[in-house]
Amino acid sequence: MNLESKLFDHTILKPDASKDDVIRICKEALEHNFASVCVNQCRVKLVSELLKDSNVKTCAVVGFPLGATSYKVKAYEAQCAIEDGATEIDMVINIGALKDKEYDIVLEDIKAVRDVCTQGKITLKVIIETCLLTDDEKIKACQMAVEAGTDFVKTSTGFSTGGATAEDVKLMKETVNNKAYVKASGGIRDKETANIMINAGADRLGTSATVNIVS
């Protein structure tokens, strides 16, 4: 299968990423016409300036990577990222609350960021961190994300105990039932794995190995 460049969020989230690293990633994204460049909030303004007047979106992570901050903090972080030029937001849910079955907290968490994104017509992706969840918890997380009005559900941060699997992508795709898209991320480092995720139902892929995969 030929992989289209618009399937990819070109990602650089490591804590020691330098300004030069981010500039290089943006140049690669422009050259290959990737869907977005995904960065930590502190790099959003730089990325949005570098991608200005292009078709490549600026994506910021929120509540990353643990998802353990207050919904108020996540909403504010999303607002700051949008003001700096982000056009897509990837937020991490409150994983502990989900496992405690405190579903009202999880829903409030997602809706707080959704409301900020709705004001600016910003794409919202909800990271559920599948490696930490049971199948029932994955299904519930996807259902709440859809209820909250998210655009995507996303498998992983890439910073926990595991990344995307074809089984999880398929389960998430079936659960959202065309009411949201699915983004697979974490551990996608070669073309074979990327194709497996697409065949399982992923609509978008997040990876730092994007150039190697499409080359």
pLDDT tens profile 29-41: 999 999 999 999 9
Q: Which CATH architecture has domain 5-214?
A: Alpha-Beta Barrel (3.20)
Specify the pLDDT at position 2. Answer: 55
The residue extents of the domains of the chain are: 5-214
* C-alpha atoms less than 13 angstroms from C-alpha of 27 in its C-beta half-sphere: 6
**How would residue 119 be classed by pLDDT, with cut points 50, 70 and 90?**
confident
Return the minimum-mean-pLDDT range out of 3-7, 91-95, 122-126, 134-138: 3-7
- Any idea which residues carry the catalytic annotation? 90, 154, 183
- Span 154-172, average pLDDT: 98
**How would residue 25 be classed by pLDDT, with cut points 50, 70 and 90?**
very high
Specify the pLDDT at position 8. Answer: 98
